[in-house]
């Protein structure tokens, strides 16, 4: 399993992750990205997936490096 970790509080709302990976990411009304189907753990949001798919590109495209992948 692969874990995607999103430090949402630090999101600047550029939408890069949504552009490259709309299957897993969406923009919310507050102007920040959200990792779909994730759960909040402390100040971060986490989601476990079987295949990393486009999430690697989402993490690499984030200008503030707040998307982390643990394999």
Those residues with Cβ within 8 angstroms of residue 30's Cβ, 6 or more apart along the chain or in another chain: none
Identify the CATH class of 2-70.
Answer: alpha beta
Please indicate, yes or no, whether the overall pTM of this predicted structure exceeds 0.85.
yes
Placement of tokens 């509080």 in the chain: 9
Domain residue limits, the chain: 2-70
SS3 59: helix
Whole-number mean pLDDT of the chain?
A: 97
Using alpha carbons, select from 31, 20, 28 the residue that is nearest to residue 57: 20
Through-space distance between the first and last CA atoms of the chain, rounded to whole angstroms: 7
Tally the residues of the chain: 71
pLDDT digits (tens, 9 = 90+) for 46-67: 999 999 999 999 999 999 999 9
């Amino acid at each position: 399993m692969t874990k995607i970790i999103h430090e949402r509080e630090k999101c600047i709302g550029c939408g890069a992750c949504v552009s490259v990976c709309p299957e897993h990411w969406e923009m919310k009304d507050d102007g920040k990205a959200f990792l779909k189907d994730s759960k909040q753990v402390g100040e971060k949001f986490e989601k476990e997936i079987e295949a990393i798919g486009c999430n690697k590109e989402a993490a690499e495209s984030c200008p503030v490096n707040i998307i982390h992948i643990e394999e």
